Amino acid sequence: MNKADWHARAAKLKIDGRAVINGQRVDAADKGTFECLSPVDGRKLADVARCQNADIDRAVSSARAAFEDRRWAGLSPGDRKRTLIRFADLLIANKEELALLETLDMGKPISASMNTDVPAAANTLRWFGEAIDKVYDEIAPTNDKTLALITREPIGVVAAIVPWNYPLLMASWKIAPALVTGNSVILKPSEKSPLTALRLGDLALEAGIPAGVLNIVPGFGPEAGSPLALHMDVDCIAFTGSTGVGKKIQVMAGQSNLKRAWCELGGKSPNIVFADCPDLDSAVEAAGGSIFYNQGESCNAPSRLLVERSIRDEFVKKLKQYAPRHNPGDPLDPETKMGALVDQGQMDTVLKYIESGKSQGATLCCGGERVRAESGGYFVAPTIFDGVTNEMKIASEEIFGPVLSIITFDTQEEAIRIANDTNYGLAAAVWTRDISKAHLVARALRAGTVHVNSYDEDDITVPFGGYKQSGNGRDKSMHALEKYTELKTTWIKLA
Ligand code: NAD
């Protein structure tokens, strides 16, 4: 489809903004709604149910009832597997609609929604579905008078609260492992991008996931998220979002029933390029491509580029030449590489950080301004600052926009020190042809993922998550199953 086809399809789109509770599309109990606006052009897309306490209570009791009567938890792993695979197939069958919703709602280019977000979300459902009937429990090596079985059971009612930057993908990272292990789930999408999550609720029912097992409650954080985090009948909260809100989630879990609180949070990831980098052009493309992908709204974006002094001038020159490839365009144009920021508030935040970079003495190499304002959307040009020190706000705080900060270093020790001098620890990269140096630096970096001579390698088979204030727990891979299961030991006395 070309740009005109996508616009024609967008004009005809019918959007249902109601919540999904107990297998039904429903209004909020008080009929409240909020406007869902598109960052592409500022237009209203839909009125969406504004769920609050009463709706959260309804969703939790429907999830609890579904869990207690074992309509889902009681199925064999093989049956849950087949349902998850049907669910994945339905995402692919509805790929164009989901991709369009994602792009209109969140601002990312249609090529990313079509080629990455929707297929990756479907793959997550499929992968966890396929995995679950290959998981065995354990028998402990005790003694010949006893049998000790170590089994995993679903936790019960899981509440997933997700952010707006990869709405469908982040939802799938939570719901796939939670559902496949037999839990009932309540998903609260971000108020900034709730639309694909609501369609997920429909598709889950169509796939055969029983009513009440997956509920979708759109709404604002304090109104719909906090009641979930404080709820006495929610057993686990799986949160992805900012570090500030993650800290509140942990407090609310402690104030209520000490529910498990898994938090996947922010980042300020370092990308270290040594002078013996094997391929400068690849390093330039990875540095620029990864910070500008998804408009810089990626938790693991390499927002701090640490370059060894002897190659700095050449590297910066190449990066400046590379950046315009990501100049923002119409998100519905399949040729566009960078789209709109999620809303006006996020754009204003990014522009404020750019001002702080200038006023704290960094050198603006390119970008630094709003573009395409005539479209009514929220676009910022790819922005690069040189001469940054790690103490500047643009190097120490998560901007969540297309802004790259370049810091120069002289020695390996200095690079490691600067890289680790952050509250975060989500991802990092090191570029060198020296295998020992690569291993030593990777080992020294306090981050959940370290890339060597690449950035943004990704696969569902590996865990994703962070050290320090980037959170706890891991999404993806078999390790994610641990978050949504209880470990039980059953002792059997052999007479
Ligand atoms: P956010 O913390 O503002 O919101 C995340 C979710 O929490 C939303 O659904 C929001 O409605 C809800 N929320 C907000 N306040 C709440 C409250 N008081 N109680 C309960 N829920 C509340 O984050 P955001 O702006 O949506 O997303 C961007 C952040 O997410 C960035 O910091 C980014 O790094 C992080 N992120 C992390 C990962 C990861 O895997 N580590 C992945 C994607 C995004």
pLDDT in tens, 326-360: 999 999 999 999 999 999 999 999 999 999 999 99
The DSSP result for 44-101, as a single string, is EEEEEE---HHHHHHHHHHHHHHHHTTTTTTS-HHHHHHHHHHHHHHHHHTHHHHHHH
d(C-alpha 489, C-alpha 147), whole Å: 10
Q: Provide the pairing of β-strand 19-21 with 24-26.
A: antiparallel
pTM given for the model: 0.98
Which of 299, 342, 483 should be mutated for ligand 1, with most atoms under 8 A from CB? 299
Residue 156 Cα to ligand 1 midpoint, Å, equals 23
Q: What is the mean pLDDT of the chain?
A: 98
pLDDT in tens, 382-392: 999 999 999 99
pLDDT in tens, 12-41: 999 999 999 999 999 999 999 999 999 999
Give the position, in ligand 1's atom list, of the atom nearest the Cα of 267. 34
Which of 165, 186, 262, 346 should be mutated for ligand 1, with most atoms under 8 A from CB? 165
User: What's the rounded mean pLDDT across residues 130-134?
Assistant: 98
pLDDT in tens, 236-247: 999 999 999 999
Residue 92 Cα to ligand 1 midpoint, Å, equals 27
Whose Cα sits closest to atom 12 in ligand 1?
221
Whose Cα sits closest to atom 9 in ligand 1?
190
- 435 φ/ψ angles, rounded to the nearest 5 degrees: -65, -35
Residue 224 Cα distances to 32, 186, 187, 394, 422, angstroms: 12, 11, 10, 32, 31
Residue 307 Cα to ligand 1 midpoint, Å, equals 31
**Reported confidence tier of residue 404, pLDDT bands at 50, 70, 90:** very high
Residue 245 Cα to ligand 1 midpoint, Å, equals 7
pLDDT of 91 over the 90 cut: yes
Give the position, in ligand 1's atom list, of the atom nearest the Cα of 191. 11
Residue 262 Cα to ligand 1 midpoint, Å, equals 12
**Reported confidence tier of residue 456, pLDDT bands at 50, 70, 90:** confident
Residues with CB under 6 A from ligand 1: 161-165, 170, 188, 190-191, 220-222, 225-226, 229, 240-242, 245, 248, 264-267, 299, 398, 400, 426, 464, 466, 470-471
Give the position, in ligand 1's atom list, of the atom nearest the Cα of 398. 32
Which of 166, 245, 264 should be mutated for ligand 1, with most atoms under 8 A from CB? 245
Give the residue numbers marked as catalytic.
264, 299
Give the position, in ligand 1's atom list, of the atom nearest the Cα of 400. 31
CA 236, chain centre distance (Å): 18
Residue 170 Cα to ligand 1 midpoint, Å, equals 11
pLDDT of 422 over the 90 cut: yes
d(C-alpha 309, C-alpha 316), whole Å: 11
User: What's the rounded mean pLDDT across residues 415-423?
Assistant: 98
**Reported confidence tier of residue 495, pLDDT bands at 50, 70, 90:** confident
Whose Cα sits closest to atom 22 in ligand 1?
221
Q: 44: exposed, middle or buried (C-beta count within 10 Å: 0-12, 13-18, 19+)?
A: exposed
- pLDDT at position 276 is 98
pLDDT of 364 over the 90 cut: yes
For the chain, the first-to-last Cα distance in angstroms comes to 71
Which of 242, 348, 472 should be mutated for ligand 1, with most atoms under 8 A from CB? 242
pLDDT of 467 over the 90 cut: yes
User: What's the rounded mean pLDDT across residues 248-255?
Assistant: 98
Residue 4 Cα to ligand 1 midpoint, Å, equals 34
Give the count of beta carbons closer than 10 Å to the beta carbon of residue 217.
Answer: 32
User: What's the rounded mean pLDDT across residues 170-185?
Assistant: 98
CA 315, chain centre distance (Å): 30
User: What's the rounded mean pLDDT across residues 103-110?
Assistant: 98
Give the position, in ligand 1's atom list, of the atom nearest the Cα of 192. 26
d(C-alpha 3, C-alpha 14), whole Å: 19
- pLDDT at position 106 is 98
Token readout for 85 is 């695979």
Residue 188 Cα to ligand 1 midpoint, Å, equals 11
